[in-house]
Amino acid sequence: MRTLFTGLLFCCTLAFFTNCNGEKVVEETIIEKEVDAAAEPGLIHTVYFWLKDSVDAAGAQEFVDGVWQLEEISSVKRMFVGPAASTPTRGVTDNSFDYALILWFDDVAGHDQYQVDPIHLKFVAEQEAKFKRVQVYDNVLGK
């Protein structure tokens, strides 16, 4: 759930899982990041992830937790992440991915800074063994 309040982006992530005793557990993570509500991105970086079949629920949660750490990178202006939607199948729809990540940057330089940021490099090093496939689409927005 995302709500914009006076220039802050509040992100509430709920994780539901069953622990080793069979009890249902709910974890909530709240992330705050100051954003300019009137700002428009100059570059959108969209990443689709297909995880290996061997990745269990705990591994998938580790992946999602790792993705959310990317929001701490200073050049990331806004960030969205989530699983594929179960929308109706159409010839132009691809719901085969496990997660999509959408990042907004001011410009290509912000994207380039993100690529070499230690937080991004750590995410890749810790998570890439879970990737079956990764597909990236970058686009520059114009007026």
- Per-residue pLDDT of 22-55, as tens digits, reads 665 555 545 455 555 566 669 999 999 999 999 9
Q: Token pair 């580790």 is at which residue?
A: 62
Name the band, by pLDDT with cuts 50, 70 and 90, for residue 110.
Answer: very high
Instruction: Give the start-end residues of each E strand in the chain.
Output: 2-5, 8-18, 24-34, 43-51, 78-83, 99-105, 131-140
CA dihedral sign, ordered 54, 58, 64, 69 = negative
Name the band, by pLDDT with cuts 50, 70 and 90, for residue 141.
Answer: confident
67-71 long-range contacts, CB within 8 A, separation 24+: 67/99, 67/101, 67/123, 68/11, 68/13, 68/29, 68/31, 69/119, 69/122, 69/123, 70/101, 70/103, 70/114, 70/119, 70/120, 70/123, 71/11, 71/31, 71/33
CA 83 from centre of chain: 9
The per-residue pLDDT for 4 is 35
State the Cα–Cα distance between residues 98 and 87, nearest whole angstrom: 14
Partners of 101 in the beta sheet?
47, 81
The per-residue pLDDT for 24 is 58
The per-residue pLDDT for 29 is 47
Domains in the chain: ranges and CATH: 39-140 (3.30.70.100)
The per-residue pLDDT for 142 is 74
CA atoms within 13 A on the CB side of 112: 3
Which pair of tokens denotes residue 114? 């993100």
Report, as an integer, the average pLDDT of 55-75.
96
Answer yes or no: pTM beyond 0.75.
no
